[in-house]
Each structure stands twice: as structure tokens, then as C-alpha cells.
């Protein structure tokens, strides 16, 4: 049986939470391998709604869940999320939640720096969640990060603190902020260490043992390929690689462990924050998509920008992201449209393109070339087989497959986990 990696094929917010929850019931382990608590997953299980930012989606089902070393971890956000879920009767123990002991930490001054930079950037704002994700990754690659394992050795942290404060105090001075209070920071870390350390372990060993035992591993990505720091709409991207290749390095398993890569894509397109968006609809149709799709960010509450499905972008995501099959979500949001459109190419300065260019100016300047298909008036909500779908909806899905050059493996027809059409079982490959 294959292991499965789940990644977003657009700009995030594609409905990964439901799909991972659906798959987690059949997995033995679920692993988050990149990002931080800037991610947002909403799970609907019966009458309960769970909103996750940092914890792997498998935690709600009691599936052993791992926060891998590729994640940057805000320990206070972790504690708050665990306590919130416990309040919803979710059992979380060191047997169900494991945190890589080599995770880099997000600290209070990372959040400060994130906000200070964003406020000072004027028209150059990236649209970050201001949660310190980028600055924490910077410290990680700058070899000055404090990691989970350091929480057990706070009395030996002097040299690391020297490197950290030498960098950040200079930045803080430039913004008119006082230097880091080292003593106060160490005390904060002592307080949170007693909560975090029971979950900490060398998860690469546990995952290696699970793989050797033939257990199914589900790798859970955050954000989407179009927010990848290399392959996304730079600079309006996240601070990590969101492609499936990151699952190997971000979990401590080799690339051969990843297996089937399931890319999640909405049946239309959304984006939160700044950056290019070729098919964005700033009209009544865009408003209708947003209202029907309840398009507000799980983490920030920000209204999402909405537009038609962009086959060029998803085709590119499938290629660079290593996607084996697509899970198409929210097809029911398109119910009732007289016609639906798919972007099949771009026009830039009179030249047609079949790919999304790398430069921001070109990305902002492309005009979408649309193909129009008939809509459907029947409801797709709750459909669980092809026979339940209108013929026009099936034609729409099949056309998307052709254009993105990647098969559709799953179709989601509502937030309910069972309202899913299984075309190809990722775990069976």
C-alpha cells in the first residue's frame, strides 16, 4: 500500500482539511511537514466543527499525529490549540501527538518583526499573517534558531542567545524598538517547556519504524504550490517549500517514502492577501462564489478573493509539485450557474502563453483566455457517486482533467467527510 502526500494545488484554502481527515481514518500516522500556525484547516465531523492551524488533521480522529522538523513551531500557539481541542473532547496525549525535537521555534520577537516589517512596507506589503513564520525560518537557515530540543537545555543557551540577539537587536533598533529582554525570554521558555517537552522526540525514528512495519503514512502539507517560496507568485508567497518533495526533508524520511501525491484544488480559484490572480472576478459573480463557498480565511478571517478555475496554474502546480492525482473540492459551489468558465491560457503583450511567467510584472499583466462550458441547475451537494452528478458537472470535471494533464482521484461535494466521490484510491497505488 502506498503512503500519500497531500498538498494544495492553488494558493491554499483548497479544502485540504476535509480530505486529510477523510484519508486519516485509513492512515496509521499523519505528518505535518512544513509551514506553521499560519495554515488553517476546517474539519466537519458530524455536528462538530474543528479549526486547526498547527496540529495535523489526523489528531481529531485519534490517528497518531506528528509535527515534523520542517514545521516552525510556536509553542504557545501549540498549547492554545491543544487546550481548545481538549475542550471539544479530543484526546491529545504523547501517544497521539509527537513533535520533532529538531523543530525550530517561533518566538515572540519573530511575531514583532513580522508585523514591524509589514507595517513599514507600504505598497510592498506581502500580506503575511503576522505570526512570525518568515522570521523564524530566516533564523533557522541563519543557524541561530532555538529549537524544541533546546527547551531541555535552557541553562546552556548562552552562545545561541548571543547569535540570536546580535541579529535581532540590530533590526529592532532600526525600527525604534528596545532590545530583546533575554532574561524574560528564558523565563517564558522555562514556563512553556514543561508543556512541550512531553511531546518531543526524534520523530524520524518513529516514522522510520512505521515505514518498516508497512504502516500507512499520510504527509500533510500546508498552504499551496502557488505559495511555494521557489515556485509560487514570488514575493507574495510563504516562507517554505510547499511542494511534495518537502515531505521527505520535513519529516526525516527519504523521498522514496512519499508515494502517491494528492493535490487539492477547488473547482474555482481563491486567494487570500496580496499578489497576482489572473482569473479574479471583482464583480457579482466573484461575490456569488465567495458567498456560496463561505470564503473567509480559517486563520485570519480575511475575505478570500474569488475567480474562475485556472487550468494553467493547476497544470503548472501538478508539474512542479509532483502531483499524481487531484482531489477536486467545492464542486457544489458552482451549482446554479448558467455557464462556467475555465482559464486555458494567457495573453501577455499580444503573445499567448501556456504557462505562468516567473516575474511579478508579467504575472500581473497576463490576461486570461477562457473556455466557456454549460453550467448545471441540479444540485451536486452531497453526491457520493458519478451517478449522482449532473452530466454538465461531469463534463466540467473531465475537461479540467484534460487541461491540467492530471487525473481527478477524488471529488468533494460538501464539507461533510462522507460526501466524497472516490475515483482512485491514493492508498492503493
21, 37, 41, 110: which one is catalytic? 41
Query: Are the C-beta atoms of 244 and 259 separated by less than 8 Å?
Result: no
CB burial readout 130-145, b (16+ within 10 A) else e: bbbbbbbbebbeeebb
CA gap 333, 329 in Å, rounded: 9
How does DSSP assign 50-98, residue by residue? EEESSS-GGGGGT--EEE-TTBEE-HHHHHHHHHHHHTTT----TTTEE
Query: Are the C-beta atoms of 256 and 14 separated by less than 8 Å?
Result: no
| Best CA proximity match to 114, nearest among 92, 90, 141, 138 | 138
C-alpha cell at 311: 487550468
Query: Are the C-beta atoms of 67 and 103 separated by less than 8 Å?
Result: yes
> CB neighbours of 8 closer than 8 A, spacing ≥ 6?
14, 16, 221, 222, 223, 224, 225, 226, 227, 242, 263, 264, 265
- Per DSSP bridges, beta strands 65-67 and 408-412 are unpaired
Place of cell 541561530: 144
| Best CA proximity match to 328, nearest among 415, 283, 268 | 268
Helix (H, G, I), strand (E, B) or coil at 328: strand
Residue 153 annotated in active site: no
Place of cell 476535509: 18
Helix (H, G, I), strand (E, B) or coil at 197: helix
Apex 259 CA angle, 137 and 387, nearest 5: 110
CA gap 253, 378 in Å, rounded: 46
Residue 13 annotated in active site: yes
CA gap 275, 128 in Å, rounded: 11
Q: Among all residues, which ones are annotated catalytic?
A: 13, 41
Amino acid at each position: 500500500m502506498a503512503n500519500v502526500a497531500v498538498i494544495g494545488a492553488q494558493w491554499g484554502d483548497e479544502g485540504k482539511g476535509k480530505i486529510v481527515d477523510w484519508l486519516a481514518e485509513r492512515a496509521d500516522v499523519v505528518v505535518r511537514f512544513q509551514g506553521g500556525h499560519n495554515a488553517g484547516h476546517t474539519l466537519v465531523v458530524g455536528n462538530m466543527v474543528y479549526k486547526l492551524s498547527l496540529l495535523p488533521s489526523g489528531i481529531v480522529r485519534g490517528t497518531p499525529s506528528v509535527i515534523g522538523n520542517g514545521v516552525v513551531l510556536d509553542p504557545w500557539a501549540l498549547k492554545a490549540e491543544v487546550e481548545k481541542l481538549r475542550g471539544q473532547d479530543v484526546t491529545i496525549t504523547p501517544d497521539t501527538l509527537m513533535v520533532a525535537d529538531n523543530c525550530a521555534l517561533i518566538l515572540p520577537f519573530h511575531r514583532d518583526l513580522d508585523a514591524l516589517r509589514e507595517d513599514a512596507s507600504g505598497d510592498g506589503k506581502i500580506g503575511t499573517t503576522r505570526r512570525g513564520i518568515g522570521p523564524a525560518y530566516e533564523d533557522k537557515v541563519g543557524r541561530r534558531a532555538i529549537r524544541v530540543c533546546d527547551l531541555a537545555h535552557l541553562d546552556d543557551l548562552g552562545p545561541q542567545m548571543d547569535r540570536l540577539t546580535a541579529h535581532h537587536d540590530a533590526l529592532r533598533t532600526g525600527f525604534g524598538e528596545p532590545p530583546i529582554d533575554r532574561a524574560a525570554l528564558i523565563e517564558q521558555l522555562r514556563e512553556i517547556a514543561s508543556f512541550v517537552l512531553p511531546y518531543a522526540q526524534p520523530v524520524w525514528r518513529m516514522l522510520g519504524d512505521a515505514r518498516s512495519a508497512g504502516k500507512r503514512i499520510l504527509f500533510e502539507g500546508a498552504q499551496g504550490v502557488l505559495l511555494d517560496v521557489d515556485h509560487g507568485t514570488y514575493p507574495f508567497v510563504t516562507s517554505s517549500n510547499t511542494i511534495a518533495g518537502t515531505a521527505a526533508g520535513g519529516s526525516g524520511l527519504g523521498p522514496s517514502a512519499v508515494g502517491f501525491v494528492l493535490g487539492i484544488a477547488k473547482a474555482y480559484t481563491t486567494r487570500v492577501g496580496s499578489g497576482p490572480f489572473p482569473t479574479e472576478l471583482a464583480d457579482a459573480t466573484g461575490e456569488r462564489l465567495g458567498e456560496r463557498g463561505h470564503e473567509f480565511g480559517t486563520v485570519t478571517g480575511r475575505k478570500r478573493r474569488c475567480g474562475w478555475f485556472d487550468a494553467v496554474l493547476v497544470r503548472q502546480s501538478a508539474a512542479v509539485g509532483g502531483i499524481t492525482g487531484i482531489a477536486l473540492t467545492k464542486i457544489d459551489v458552482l451549482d446554479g450557474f448558467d455557464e462556467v468558465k475555465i482559464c486555458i491560457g494567457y495573453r501577455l503583450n499580444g503573445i499567448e502563453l501556456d504557462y505562468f511567467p516567473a516575474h511579478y510584472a508579467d504575472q500581473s499583466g497576463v490576461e486570461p483566455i477562457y473556455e466557456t462550458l454549460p453550467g448545471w441547475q441540479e444540485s451536486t451537494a452531497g453526491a457520493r457517486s458519478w451517478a449522482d452528478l449532473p452530466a454538465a458537472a461531469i463534463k466540467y470535471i473531465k475537461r479540467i482533467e484534460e487541461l491540467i494533464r492530471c487525473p481527478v482521484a477524488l471529488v468533494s461535494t460538501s464539507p461533510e467527510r462522507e460526501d466524497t466521490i472516490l475515483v482512485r484510491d491514493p492508498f492503493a497505488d
